[in-house]
Amino acid sequence: MKQKLFLIIFLLIMILAGNNVAQDLSYYFPKEAVFNPEIPKPEDVLGFQVGEFHASHDNIVDYFRHLAEASHRVKYEVYGKTHENRPLTVAIISSEANIKRIEEIRKQHLQLNDPSVSSKLNVADLPVVVWLSHSIHGNEASAVNCSMLTAYYLAAATGKEMEELLDKTIIIIDPATNPDGVQRFSTWANGNKSYMTNPDPASREHNESWPGGRYNHYWFDLNRDWLPLEQPESEARIKKLQEWKPNILIDEHEQGTNASFHFSPGEPSRVNPLVLAENQALTQKLANNYAKAFDEIGSFYFSAERYDDYYIGRGSTYPDMNGGVALLFEQASVRGFVQESEIGLLTFPFAIRNQFIGTVSTIKTAFSIKNEFLSYQKNYYLSAIDEAKKETQKAYVFGNGNDRNATFRFARLLNIHGIKSYLLKSDLNAGTHSFNAASAYIVPLDQPQYRLIKSIFGLHLNPKDSSFYDISAWNIPQAYNLPFETIKTYSGVTGDIFSADQLPKGNTIGSGTAFAYILKWEDYNSTRALTRLLNENIVVKVAGKSFETLDGLKFGQGSILIPLGSINTDQAKVEKIISEINLIDGIDVYLLNTGDNMSVDLGSSYFSVITKPKIAVLTDDGVNAVNAGQIWHLLDTKYKIPFTMLPLKAFRQSSLNRYNVIVMPDGNYQDLDEKVAGKLQDWLATGNTLIAFENAISWLNKNKLITVELEKDDTKAIGYNYENSLLFKASREVPGTVFETRLDLTHPINYGYQTDRLPVFKDNKIVQLKAENISANYPVWYTNSPLLDGYAPAGFSKSLSGTPALGIFGSKKGRIIAFYNNTIFRGYWSGTSRQFANSLFFGDKIRLSSGNGPD
């Protein structure tokens, strides 16, 4: 009887769910709203009601194009392309009169950010600019679907109130900030939709397949990329944002199904110290109106908890460093069309409506107190110059003459963020570093982006709180491993302002008939230059010992030798590639006429042939998609080396003989059994290289491919009450912190480094307890006082001190290289990614005096 009753109730839920998903526009809009019938509604273009299906990115683009064609209030722009060639778009919506002179308004608005002219501006004469950012996580779909409702409402609503609002407000709608992810998730949701919708959380509809639609094409989390700009979506968006400098930006997201609706502010104890108090006051005014709006429709909400405004590289924080007010929306996610939650059925239209209500409240608040937002932005930049003048240190200097491409890359990043830098005109000694003219840059503090400069270059030690929603450190020069210092004056040492057109150009140094070519391994683009040669089957060698020519040219270990003569007989082909390395990669190449005027003969055994890596990267369920994506992106777009993304199913079943390098990204490999471990051990025995990241090491350890003892955190929350025990747990995490390591510069894993100190990024608690055979197996160690930047739990730095940051283990003829940290974190930690490159190209060169794995 109970089973029958349960079945009846379940079927009733299913029927109710199936009959209550689609809603017409009256569900979303104010009852009093009257619309221009000549403006197309979303269903007129899509063929379905908003919320009835998940709009694909194609649908979104189609609707916004039709809307712009029909409405004089709308200007549609394409500002970039994704990896999958989808357009990145914005719709600029305002009054017809404003749209006609939108470029004039934009330029006038930008004067608020220029202290040299802003004092003359009367903010009462300017419209306020509101930017709406939707679904940067592609599977957080209520936001992207809400964008069409917002656009239609603003373009079609009639009446004096709307006309006044649009006359004083510029609304910029970025409808789908992650087009590739939106397309991937909408395909999943629609492809698993039933006519009788199923609210069961276990349903396939609510559990998308790996890697999911959250990420972009290369599985990057774009909401962590607002600062490093590794992806084209991010770079194009920031360029567009810098063209407008909005007063308000809403970053619309989703959270767990059992949550309600979050709006800013975040945790008050975790506000970045460079965010002004006035910013938080304006945020609170918006929040007060959000509360009223949600009370009116009976939607639950929360604020000032869980989320924070600390790391400035997210959508809900980056505008705070640019004179705006950034806010976060987090709506409970349906992950489909209807799903059971702890408080009842959660439907897709309900989630969309909450996003819409919050969005409209934002726009109305911006309009009602527009002068406050405009004055805040004006004063933000005026006060930035005043604060900069108080600094005893007046500028930063950075650069590395041996790594021109990393230096240029950082200067270019600053430029995109609206930060001016100037080429160093004369040699300069500062702090512990020497900077050479024409290979370093000066970044003055007395410029409008003063606070953003301080955040990018500064250290983030001693935070007020001990828990973080995201990372606790983000010093970009550390990530690039670029020397940088502060200076008290920059008078007389600044040259030309940085220009993105001035790409580094390499030269072929030397003349006469070439006997061989050599390129150094220190530059960011050296890896790409090497793969350019290997992809054309050119025989190349690596130097296992430093050497110099009789005329004083010095070359470090890791330098690449391209022999000619009987080895590479097609000299014209080699010279063509050398020219590409000069012009495209920006690398100097040295021409040698002979092999005998060297401290080490070119025919010496110290030069060994580089075997082209034939790489497989493990993917699919169990693998950390973000780490796998970072590896994919690095190999494909930066190193430009072919490789195989190998699903775990194929890894179990297929022969591994076609690969000489296998990469195990971070992940949970518990479904791989002893048989797979034995297969991998046999593959290693033939001299191949296995590279493992972070938690993949646990599987290797468990299956006895390596033997390593890791520290366990047994700290208990003694003395903490029930409520605070969660805070204690958070305080024990390593949230993304920078530590200092020391390097054995003679080891192949460290080829290309010029100093024996290297910052590393750590967001885990992997610590190796016991280490022997230091020189061969453990060439990277944490220093005695390793904390450089960010938060570390009490006692953790001491535990880390003197322990290895990576381990190298022998397995018969093979090598296992275990990275205890993500050396390519978020794609921008190029300082440590060199070690990953070295493991690919030189892993088989590593000589171990004793193995640390099975025979």
pLDDT category, 567, cuts 50, 70, 90?
confident
Q: Check: pTM over 0.85? Answer yes or no.
A: yes
Q: What is the pLDDT confidence band of residue 528, given thresholds at 50, 70 and 90?
A: very high
What pLDDT does 851 receive?
38
pLDDT confidence of residue 720: 57
Domain harbouring 554, CATH code: 3.30.70
Within a domain: residue 332? yes
Query: Does 672 lie in the same domain as 599?
Result: no
**Partners of 341 in the beta sheet?**
344
Domain contains 765: yes
578/566 Cα distance (integer angstroms): 18
Same domain, 552 and 666: no
* Per-residue pLDDT tens digits for 149-186: 999 999 999 999 999 999 999 999 999 999 999 999 99
- Same structural domain for residues 481 and 512? no
DSSP state of 54: P
What is the pLDDT of the chain when averaged over all its residues?
93
Residue 461's pLDDT is 86
Residue 642 scores a pLDDT above 50: yes
- The residue among 263 and 852 whose pLDDT is bigger is 263
Is residue 13 over pLDDT 80?
no
Is 28 inside a domain boundary?
no
Give the per-residue pLDDT at 426: 96
Count of all residues that appear for the chain in the document: 855
Could you tell me the pLDDT band of residue 400, with boundaries at 50, 70 and 90? very high
Residue 57 to residue 86: CA distance in whole angstroms: 8
- List, for residues 452-497, the tens digit of each pLDDT value: 999 999 998 888 777 888 999 999 999 999 999 999 999 999 999 9
Residue where one domain finishes, among candidates 447, 478, 497: 497
Domain total in the chain: 4
Return the C-alpha torsion angle 431, 437, 441, 445, nearest 10: 60
Question: Is residue 324 domain-shared with residue 412, that is, in the same domain?
Answer: no
pLDDT at 111: 98
Indicate the pLDDT class of residue 771, thresholds 50, 70 and 90. low
Give me the pLDDT at residue 711, please.
Answer: 83
Average pLDDT, stretch 130-134?
99
Residue 851 resides in a domain = no
367 and 401 housed in the same domain: no
Confidence check: pLDDT of 728 > 70: no
Task: State the residue range of the domain holding 490.
Answer: 392-497
- Residue after which a domain boundary falls, among 557, 588, 609: 609
Domain shared by 626 and 605, yes or no: no
Q: What are phi and psi of 600, to 5 degrees?
A: -130, 125
Res 709 pLDDT > 90:
no
We report the CATH number of the domain holding residue 223 as 3.40.630.10
How far CA 431 is from CA of 357, 460, 487, in Å, comes to 53, 20, 8
CATH label of the domain that carries residue 700: 3.40.50.880
pLDDT of residue 439: 95
Cα separation, 147 vs 91, in Å, equals: 10
649, 765: one domain:
yes
Please enumerate in sequence order all residues whose Cβ is within 8 A of that of 601, keeping only pairs 6 or more positions apart, or say none: 595
Residue 503 lies in a domain: no
Q: In this predicted structure, which of 126-140, 720-734, 799-813 has the lowest mean pLDDT?
A: 720-734
| Residue 302 DSSP one-character state | B
> Is pLDDT above 80 for 1?
no
Closest CA to 830 of 239, 423, 230, 314: 230
The confidence band for 729, taking pLDDT boundaries of 50, 70 and 90, is low
Does residue 55 lie within any of the structural domains?
Answer: yes
Q: Pick from 495, 477, 496, 474: which is nearest to 486 by CA?
A: 477
Q: Which of 745, 771, 747 is nearest to 757 (CA)?
A: 745
Residues 532 and 449 in one domain: no
The whole-number average pLDDT for the span 642-655 is 96
Verify that 355 and 422 share a domain, yes or no: no
Same domain, 130 and 182: yes
Q: What does the pLDDT read at residue 850?
A: 43
Q: Report the pLDDT value the prediction gives residue 552, as an integer from 0 to 100.
A: 87
- Name 818's Cβ contacts closer than 8 Å, sequence gap at least 6: 692, 697, 700, 706, 708, 806, 807, 808, 809
Give the residue from 580, 609, 638 where a domain finishes.
609
- Calculate mean pLDDT across residues 829-837: 98
Q: Across residues 685-705, what is the average pLDDT? A: 96
Q: Are residues 216 and 340 in the same domain?
A: yes
Residue 855 in domain? no
Kindly state whether residue 841 falls inside one of the protein's structural domains: yes
Q: What is residue 598's predicted lDDT score, i.e. its pLDDT? A: 80
Whether residue 175 is found in the same domain as residue 259: yes
